[in-house]
C-alpha cells in the first residue's frame, strides 16, 4: 500500500509532521475500541469525531446499508421522495422538542448550518423583514468549514486564510465559567451576563439586521462549556424580543451525547431550528439535517414558494436507512438512558484527575467532557504559545495515543483534552481513560 502521505490530503493536518513517521492508520473497530494496522488496540475516547455514538462494529447497521443500496441506491429529494427519507423525517420529528417538524436533510454538519442560515435569511425576506440577515455566535465556537458556516465559526486561526468570508457574522462571549471575565463566583449572574451580551450585540448591530443566533447546547470548541443555569431561558427571551431565530447547533450534542436525543431537551429550551449530523447514523453513513419549526416552513408553502436550496446527496437513501437502523439500536438498548444512568460515574471518574497539578478544570455533561490543562492551578495561568506547541502538539496527542487512548488534545482556546466516548461505554472504559490520562498528564507535567 502507498504511504498515507503520498496522495491522501488529510483534514486539519500538518502534513509535514508525518514526513518522518507513519500516519496512524485505523483499520477496524468493535464496541468502544479501534485497532490500527499493526494490530494495536485503542480506546476510542472521541467516538471517532463525536460520531460513533452506538459504538463500532454494528453489523446490523452495515446490513441496513447493504439492503437499501440493493433496493434503491440513490434517488434525489428534489421533487421526489423515497421511503427511508420519509420515515426518518417522521421519526426525527417525533423526537424533537415542540413543533420542530420539518426535516431538511444534508450530508453533514456544515451543510446543515449553511442551510439554517440560508433559511433564516429567506424566511425573513418572505415575512417582510428583508434586512434581517446577520448571525450571532460565540467566540471560539466551531460551526463548520463551508464559507457561511466558517463565518459563524469563532476561531480566527481557521478563518484568516479564507477571508473575506460571508459578511454578517457577529461574535459574543461564550460560557466558559472557569475563565469568566465577570461574575466568576456566581454561575447564575454569569449566565445572565453572557446571555445579555447577545442582546447587546443585537442592539449594537441593529435588531432589524439580525436573523439568527447560533449556539451549541454545550460548546465543544474551547473544551466543553455547558450553559450556566438560566442561560438558555434568557437567550430565548432575547430572541423572542428581537424576533431573532434561535438555532441550536447540535451536530455534536444530539443523539444521546448529553443523555437526551437533543441537547435542547436536556437544558429545557425551545429552538426554532436544530442542526444535526454525526451521531444520527453513528457514522455508518454520512448524514446531516436542518430541522425547522412549522412556522418557518409556512411562508414557503404558497403555490409558487420554495426554499431554493439543496445538495445531491442530502438525505441519501442508504444514509437514511442506516439512521433508521441506528435509532432502532438506540431504542432497543436505551442508549440515551444508559448515558443518563452513567454520566455521574463518568464525571466522578474524570474528577479524580483534579489531584494532578496540571488539571485546572473538568467540565461537561453527559458523555461529553473537556479537561483544561493549566500551568498554575491557583492562578489558572495557562501555557504560552511555545509551551502549548511543545506540550499539546509535540507530546500529548501522540503520548495519549501511544498509551492506547484516542482522544483530542486541543488548543483552539485554552489547552484541553476532550472526551466523548461511544455511548455504550461504562465504568471499565471510564477507568481506562482516567488511568491513561493520569499517567500521560503526569509525564507531561514533568516535562514542563
Ligand X SMILES: Cc1ncc(COP(=O)(O)O)c(C=O)c1O
Per-residue binding string, ligand X, 255-294, x by CB under 6 A, is: ----------------------x----------x------
**Residue 110 near ligand X by CB under 6 A:** yes
Contact with ligand X (CB under 6 A) among 89, 119, 180, 252: 252
Per DSSP, 262 falls in state S
Answer for which of 151, 176, 220, 248 binds ligand X (CB under 6 A) is 220
Binding status of residue 51 toward ligand X by CB under 6 A: no
Task: Please check whether residue 279 is in contact with residue 53, taking contact to mean a CB–CB distance below 8 angstroms.
Answer: yes
The answer for residues whose C-beta is within 8 angstroms of residue 32's C-beta and 6 or more apart is: 43, 44, 55, 56, 421, 422, 424, 425, 429
Which residue number, 151 or 220, has a Cβ lying nearer to ligand X? 220
- Nearest residue (CB) to ligand X, 108 versus 314: 108
Q: Which run of H or E residues covers position 372?
A: strand 368-373
**Among positions 46, 64, 113, 136, the unique one binding ligand X when judged by CB under 6 A:** 113
110 or 382: CB nearest ligand X: 110
Give the three-class secondary structure for 14. Answer: coil
Select from 107-115, 129-137, 154-162, 169-177 the region that touches ligand X (CB under 6 A).
107-115
CB of 418 to ligand X, least distance (A): 11
What the block records as the C-alpha cell of 77 is 429529494
Adjacency order of strands within the sheet including 33-36: 26-30, 33-36, 41-44, 405-406
| Owner of C-alpha cell 500516519 | 23
Contact pick of 29, 55, 144, 173 for ligand X (by CB under 6 A): 144
**Stretch binding ligand X (CB under 6 A), from 22-30, 109-117, 233-241, 364-372:** 109-117
Q: For ligand X, how many residues bind (rule: CB under 6 A)?
A: 14
Indicate the residue whose CB is closest to ligand X: 109
Nearest approach in angstroms of CB 282 to ligand X is 14
Q: How far is the CB of 169 from ligand X (least distance, A)?
A: 14
Inter-residue contact 278 to 109 (CB < 8 Å): yes
- CA–centroid distance for 49 within its chain: 9
As measured in angstroms, the least distance from the Cβ of 219 to ligand X is: 8
Listed residue (352, 95, 94, 92) closest to 104, CA to CA: 92
Q: Which is it for strands 26-30 and 359-365: parallel, antiparallel or unpaired?
A: unpaired
Residue 382 sits in the site that holds ligand X (CB under 6 A): no
Instruction: Rank residues 152 and 199 by Cβ distance to ligand X and give the closer one.
Output: 152
Nearest CA among 370, 374, 418, 424 for reference residue 397: 418
109 counts as binding ligand X under rule CB under 6 A: yes
Percent of the chain as helix, strand, coil, to the nearest 5: 45, 15, 40
| 249 touches ligand X (CB under 6 A) | yes
Least distance from ligand X to the Cβ atom of residue 363, Å = 17
Q: Whole-angstrom Cα distance, residue 37 to residue 390?
A: 27
Tell me the C-alpha distance between 86 and 276, whole Å: 17
Q: How many CA atoms lie within 13 A of 2 on its CB side?
A: 5
Return the SS3 of 110.
helix
Between 367 and 430, CB nearer to ligand X: 367
- Does 142 participate in binding ligand X (rule CB under 6 A)? yes
Of 392, 390, 389, nearest to 401 (Cα)? Answer: 392
Q: Are the C-beta atoms of residues 51 and 282 closer than 8 Å to each other? A: yes
What is the C-alpha separation between 299 and 309, in angstroms, rounded? Answer: 15
**With respect to ligand X, which residue has the nearer C-beta, 313 or 445?**
313
**Minimum gap (Å) between residue 46 Cβ and ligand X:** 11
Counting contacts by CB under 6 A, is residue 413 touching ligand X? no
Question: Which position among 34, 198, 218, 251 is part of the footprint of ligand X (CB under 6 A)?
Answer: 251
Q: Which is nearer to ligand X, 106 or 349 (CB)?
A: 106
Chain positions contacting ligand X, by CB under 6 A: 108-110, 113, 142-144, 216, 220, 249, 251-252, 277, 288
Amino acid at each position: 500500500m502507498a504511504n498515507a502521505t503520498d496522495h491522501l490530503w488529510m483534514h486539519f493536518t500538518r502534513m509535514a509532521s508525518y514526513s518522518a513517521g507513519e500516519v496512524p492508520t485505523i483499520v477496524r473497530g468493535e464496541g468502544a475500541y479501534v485497532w490500527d494496522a499493526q494490530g494495536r488496540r485503542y480506546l476510542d475516547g472521541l467516538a471517532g469525531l463525536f460520531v460513533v455514538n452506538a459504538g463500532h462494529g454494528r453489523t446490523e447497521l452495515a446490513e441496513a446499508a447493504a439492503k437499501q443500496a440493493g433496493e434503491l441506491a440513490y434517488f434525489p429529494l428534489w421533487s421526489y421522495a423515497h421511503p427511508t427519507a420519509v420515515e426518518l423525517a417522521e421519526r426525527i420529528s417525533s423526537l424533537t422538542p415542540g413543533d420542530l417538524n420539518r426535516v431538511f436533510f444534508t450530508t453533514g454538519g456544515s451543510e446543515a448550518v449553511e442551510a439554517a442560515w440560508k433559511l433564516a435569511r429567506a424566511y425573513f425576506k418572505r415575512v417582510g423583514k428583508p434586512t434581517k440577515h446577520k448571525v450571532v455566535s460565540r467566540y471560539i465556537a466551531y460551526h463548520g468549514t463551508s464559507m457561511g458556516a466558517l463565518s459563524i465559526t469563532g476561531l480566527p486561526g481557521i478563518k484568516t486564510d479564507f477571508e473575506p468570508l460571508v459578511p454578517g457574522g457577529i461574535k459574543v462571549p461564550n460560557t466558559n465559567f472557569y475563565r469568566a471575565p465577570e461574575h466568576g463566583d456566581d454561575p447564575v449572574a454569569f449566565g445572565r451576563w453572557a446571555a445579555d451580551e447577545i442582546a447587546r450585540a443585537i442592539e449594537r448591530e441593529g435588531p432589524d439586521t439580525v436573523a439568527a443566533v447560533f449556539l451549541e447546547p454545550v460548546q465543544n470548541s474551547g473544551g466543553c462549556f455547558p450553559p450556566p443555569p438560566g442561560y438558555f431561558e434568557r437567550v430565548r427571551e432575547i430572541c423572542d424580543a428581537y424576533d431573532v431565530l434561535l438555532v441550536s447547533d447540535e451536530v455534536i450534542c444530539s443523539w444521546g451525547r448529553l443523555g437526551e436525543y437533543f441537547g435542547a431537551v436536556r437544558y429545557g429550551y425551545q429552538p426554532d431550528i436544530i442542526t444535526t449530523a454525526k451521531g444520527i447514523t453513528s457514522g455508518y453513513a454520512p448524514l446531516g439535517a436542518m430541522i425547522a419549526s412549522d412556522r418557518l416552513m409556512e411562508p414557503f408553502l404558497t403555490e409558487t414558494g420554495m426554499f431554493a436550496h439543496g445538495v445531491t446527496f442530502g438525505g441519501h437513501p442508504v444514509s437514511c436507512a442506516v439512521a433508521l437502523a441506528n435509532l432502532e439500536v438506540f431504542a432497543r438498548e436505551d442508549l440515551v438512558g444508559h448515558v443518563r444512568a452513567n454520566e455521574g460515574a463518568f464525571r466522578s471518574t474524570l474528577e479524580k484527575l483534579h489531584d494532578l497539578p496540571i488539571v485546572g478544570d473538568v467540565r461537561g455533561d453527559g458523555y461529553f467532557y473537556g479537561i483544561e490543562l493549566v500551568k498554575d492551578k491557583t492562578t489558572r495561568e495557562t501555557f504560552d504559545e511555545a509551551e502549548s506547541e511543545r506540550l499539546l502538539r509535540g507530546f500529548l496527542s501522540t503520548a495519549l495515543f501511544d498509551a492506547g487512548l484516542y482522544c483530542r488534545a486541543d488548543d483552539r482556546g485554552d489547552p484541553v483534552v476532550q472526551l466523548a466516548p461511544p455511548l455504550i461505554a461504562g465504568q471499565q472504559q471510564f477507568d481506562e481513560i482516567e488511568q491513561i490520562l493520569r499517567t500521560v498528564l503526569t509525564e507531561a507535567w514533568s516535562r514542563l
